[in-house]
Amino acid sequence: MMRQYELVERVQKYKPDVNEALLNKAYVYAMQKHGQQTRASGDPYISHPLEVAAILTDMHLDESTVAVALLHDTIEDTSATRDEIDTLFGEDIGRLVEGLTKIKKLDLVSRKAKQAENLRKLLLAISDDVRVLLVKLADRLHNMRTLGHMPLEKRARISEETMDIYAPLAGRMGMHDMREELEELSFQNLNPEAYQTISRRLADLSERNADLIKNIENELTELLAQNGLKNAVVKGRQKKPYSVFRKMQSKSLSFEQLSDVWGFRVVVDMVPECYTALGIIHTRWRVVPGRFKDYISTPKQNDYQSIHTTIVGPARQRIELQIRTRRMHDIAEYGIAAHTLYKDGANAAPDGSAVRQSDAYKGLRTTIESLAEGDNPEEFLEHTKLELFQDQVYCFTPKGKLIALPRGATPIDFAYAVHTNVGDTCVGAKINGRIMPLVTRLSNGDEVEIIRSGVQVPPAAWEEIVVTGKARSAIRRATRLAVRKQYSGLGQRILERTFERAGKVFSKDMMKPTVHRLGHREVEDAIAAVGRGELSSLDVLKAVYPDYQDERVTTRQTLEEGWFNVRSAQGMMFKVPEGQKSRLEADPEESEESPQAHPFRGLGGAIEVRFSPSGAVPGDRIVGIHDGKHSITVYPIQSPSLSKFDEQPERWIDIRWDLDEANKSRFKARIIVTGINEPGTLATIAQTIGLADANISILTMIRVAPDFSEMEFDLEVWDLRQLSHLLAQLSDLDCVSTVKRVFD
């Protein structure tokens, strides 16, 4: 275990004027608080904060951050309090320590929800001060190094969390060495067999080719020196097991097929020398086409700068090269922590480039701000993984602004990255000057122009298309708002009648103090829930007037807030509010009128229930419109036809899907496909529909032009998920320009 004086000496090596008193006080306080506590390995617990502090000294961080590392577990695991730490060490250190403390007393059911809430708190603390992230990553790194003493189940869970969250966070901050080590340690626990197999193969390969690596280093160094770059340093390195495994998985390659197991770095003094070195190497050896990237002129979002190229080098060996300055190398190794090496009283870095605030940190803060808008913990966790764990592509707005997106992103993701309002009003996109489908995957260097409409509402199906957490969150929020708007009018009328029967006057202001007790954040959400039948109007009345007693309530009236089932001839169940049953009861005999009508049976009679002409499928939000006699028509909530009944709330019937799995049936959905007008287009579309296990019942050619055709399909599908997947598959076809679902 490291001693107190050794820690001070480590900091003194890069900061001679270190505040020794602060480090000594933090060391003694942590030692006293952790007392006789031990770790799973049996070591004294104080060894953990000491090792975390040592990792931070390797990054040359200031003594305040090192002191936070010593204290980071005191509030969580000892009797220490925030007030006590504020008094002894100052509010700045107290705030950082609290930001690293997990949320202990959360009334949350699932482990995933607890994990998400802890992550949310950590990220919000990071957005205030990046030192929270540096200490947390060092903490996780030491925990991963000592994970072998934990039970297998806990080992796997911690490794998965590290691979999903903390390794990508380190990469996002440009800390590639730490990211690699976190990934290797996680891989070792999550897939030990693959780790051991690849490690053995790499060891054998390294032993056989040790001379080759040294020869390439010497030849490159000599070549650069002969052309005036005498200070250039060339260093070869072998890829890590996880990096090899990931490439084998993504490219579907065997180990023998890998041709770039080794990479070489060329480190020079100044930025112009990077391009000089590139010219020298490309003149001597043949470049591999399509394998050149200039991250110096266009840095990555995490501040990474380097030139990447692949050549067929000595001995006809394929070689990956990275060319960078020494400052770029420090940032590539230490990421955001490296900025402290150049910021003290300097306006320019040693290589001549300007020192600026870290783009990595600014980008992370923007990401955190968008993630913090999530409505529930599970969504937050999902969006965080989406934002952090993907490689990136770089696209441009028409004005030249650079937008970084995850690989596989679409113009919809691009629109939401520009601004949420741009995404919400997006109806089309031009990519490099050509109108392209919104499902097109963007590539590096694409110029994207978003076409907007003021009346657009983002379709719920977009959620299956986008890949960024910000876009997915915004689409879900817009969908919820649209549904809320659809139901809030009905809910308000129901509440007004309920309050009127009770001799009370309803107003939204009266609900504000009680809305949280009703399980909702906003009054409008609660009113919409009443409209959907999810919240009883009587419960709202009792929440606003706790002392209210209705002496006229009977068993029959109490049942009116429940639901009863109606079953179709297809074996499919709808749920209908019991309070609306009296309007739906009919003669007990089944109707035999139209073969297109679906008889639904209630408690005491038969009800004819039809679907709207464009159909509805399980998974759609649906509503029934009563004809005033003995039948209802089922509409998806997005149907424009429902606007005709806005002023007739008494005709609205709230129904829900309740499928009988023993009696499967297909359901109708209508789509319009715009395809290229050439032979084979219809056959390709029909084949795709058939392979997706959907059936075409009606096909109509709406419009045929010299270049394209519009086709309307009435399909029979199992549910909304199958339909969404089919729409995505049709959109990916080369012969299809657009595809959309339509409602009557």
* Pairing state between β 318-325 and 262-268: parallel
Residue with tokens 């709406």: 702
- CA Rg value for the chain: 32
Distance of CA 112 to CAs 99, 102, 586, Å? 20, 14, 48
Nearest to 142 by CA among 22, 339, 1: 1
Distance CA 85, CA 441 (A): 51
Mapping DSSP to helix (H, G, I), strand (E, B) and coil, where does residue 129 land?
A: coil
The answer to whether the CB of 340 falls within 8 A of the CB of 61 is yes
The answer to whether the CB of 541 falls within 8 A of the CB of 548 is yes
AA identity, residue 41: S
Catalytic residue status for 627: no
- As given in the structure block, the two tokens for residue 375 are 């409505």
The answer to whether the CB of 68 falls within 8 A of the CB of 100 is yes
Catalytic residue status for 658: no
Given 58, 76, 184, 522, the catalytic residue:
76
Residue with tokens 């049709």: 730
Give the helix/strand (H/E) hosting 642: none
- As given in the structure block, the two tokens for residue 332 are 């590539």
The answer to whether the CB of 581 falls within 8 A of the CB of 563 is no
The three state secondary structure string of 406-454 is: ECCCCHHHHHHHHCHHHHHCEEEEEECCEEECCCCCCCCCCEEEEEECC
Given 43, 77, 86, 359, the catalytic residue:
77
Distance CA 58, CA 63 (A): 12
The answer to whether the CB of 470 falls within 8 A of the CB of 403 is no
The alpha-helical segments, DSSP class H, found in 191-240 are: 192-208, 210-226
Nearest to 453 by CA among 477, 421, 485: 421
Strand partners, 434: 431
With vertex at residue 43, the alpha carbon angle to CA 41 and CA 45, rounded to the nearest 5 degrees, is 110
Strand partners, 598: 609
304-343 CB burial, b ≥16 within 10 A, e <16: bbbbebbbebeeebebbbbbbbbbbbbbbebbbbbbbbbe
The answer to whether the CB of 152 falls within 8 A of the CB of 193 is no
Distance CA 717, CA 723 (A): 7
Nearest to 45 by CA among 61, 56, 26, 32: 32
Q: What is the dihedral of CA 410, 416, 417, 421, to 10 degrees?
A: 150
Residue with tokens 């966790």: 381
With vertex at residue 544, the alpha carbon angle to CA 541 and CA 546, rounded to the nearest 5 degrees, is 90
Distance CA 34, CA 36 (A): 6
Chain centroid to Cα 482, Å, comes to: 23
| Number of residues that this document lists for the chain | 744
Q: Point out the residues that are catalytic.
A: 76-77
